[in-house]
Every structure is written in C-alpha cells, then in structure tokens.
C-alpha cells in the first residue's frame, strides 16, 4: 500500500513539473521548440553532475523558471539599457540564466565555477567551462 501511494505521489509530482514547465515554456519570449524537445533537454540537463553538485533537481528548479522569466521580461521593459535577443530556451536553461537577477544585459555574465557556481574562478578548459581553486570542484571537474 505504502509503495503504491509513493508511486502515485511521484507520478503526480512529475505531472506537476511538466505542467509548470509548460507554463514557463509558453511564457518564454525567445525561441522555443515544442514541449517534448524542451522537456527532453531539461531532463537530460538535470542528470548532469553540475546539477547534482548544486543540489538542483527538476522538482526544485522548475518552479523557479516562470518567475525568472517574468522578472527578466519586466527588467527588459523597464530598462533603458540595450538588451540582446533572448537566447533559445534550451540555452537559457542549460546556461543557468534563470539564476540571474538581471539577465542578458550588455554586461558580460560573471565567470562562474562550473561546479560550485562561485565567481572566484581561475582556469577553464575549452568546452568544459570555468573552474575555481577548490579541491572538491577540481575532482568533479575532472569527471566531466
Ligand atoms: Zn568551484
């Protein structure tokens, strides 16, 4: 019985994630592919070690997407600064742009450690991104 209940709850949680994700996808002003493609992308992204390391899961990230988009739309509407085009939705998600308070201005995004997100980075490998000096990050980075 208990496991059946747990199963029902996990199905319900997944449905909720999809529902919230679709709301964010529809709101996003940049280029979006269909639901299935975008969903597949975020599920794939969620399995990468970077997410795990930051304690990110679909359950705790998806509810943040729509508010982040709303904030970024509002920022663009009120800003006198030049703003570049919206990125493709998948790029916006995979690049962690939903964590930026003031997004996509003409100021460059701060360099962040691929593993821990801190900005005191010191080296990068092409295609792997930036790395800080912390030994635990070095270990994770080597596995990428
Ligand atoms: Zn780090």
Residues 20 and 85 in one domain: yes
Is the domain of 70 the same as that of 127? no
Distance 119 CA to ligand 1 centre (A): 8
Centre of ligand 1 from the C-alpha of residue 126, in Å:
17
Tokens of 97: 């742009």
Gap between the Cα atoms of 78 and 67, Å rounded: 17
Q: Establish if 125 belongs to a structural domain.
A: yes
Instruction: State the average pLDDT over residues 13-40.
Output: 95
Residue 48 confidence (pLDDT) above 70: yes
Q: Are residues 124 and 108 in contact, defined by beta-carbon separation less than 8 angstroms?
A: no
Overall number of domains in the chain: 2
How many residues are recorded in the chain? 144
For 106, other C-beta atoms within 10 Å of its C-beta total: 8
pLDDT in tens, 54-84: 899 999 999 999 999 999 898 888 877 777 7
Give me the pLDDT at residue 49, please: 84
Cα distance between residue 22 and residue 19, in whole Å: 5
pLDDT for residue 46: 94
Mean pLDDT over residues 82-87, rounded? 83
Q: Cα separations (Å) of 119 from 4, 50, 72, 98, 114?
A: 44, 15, 22, 17, 10
Check residue 2 and give its pLDDT. 59
For the question of whether the overall pTM of this predicted structure is more than 0.75, the answer is no
Mean local confidence (pLDDT), 26-37: 96
Please check whether residue 41 is in contact with residue 94, taking contact to mean a CB–CB distance below 8 angstroms. yes
Give the distance (Å) from ligand 1 centre to CA of residue 138: 7
Q: Are residues 27 and 90 in the same domain?
A: yes
Structural domain boundaries, residue 19: 2-99
What's the pLDDT tens digit per position in 113-143?
999 988 889 999 888 889 999 999 999 999 9
Residue 131 sits in the same domain as residue 86 = no
């Amino acid at each position: 019985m208990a496991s059946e209940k747990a199963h029902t709850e996990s199905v319900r949680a997944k449905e909720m994630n999809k529902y919230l994700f679709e709301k964010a996808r529809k709101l996003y002003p940049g280029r979006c592919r269909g639901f299935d493609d975008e969903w597949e992308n975020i599920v794939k992204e969620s399995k990468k070690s970077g997410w795990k390391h930051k304690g990110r899961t679909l359950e705790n990230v998806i509810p943040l997407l729509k508010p982040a988009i709303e904030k970024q739309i509002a920022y663009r509407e009120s800003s006198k600064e030049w703003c570049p085009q919206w990125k493709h939705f998948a790029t916006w998600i995979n690049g962690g742009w939903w964590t930026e308070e003031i997004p996509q201005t003409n100021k460059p995004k701060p360099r962040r450690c691929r593993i821990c997100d801190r900005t005191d980075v010191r080296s990068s490998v092409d295609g792997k991104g930036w790395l800080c000096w912390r030994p635990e990050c070095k270990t994770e980075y080597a596995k990428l």
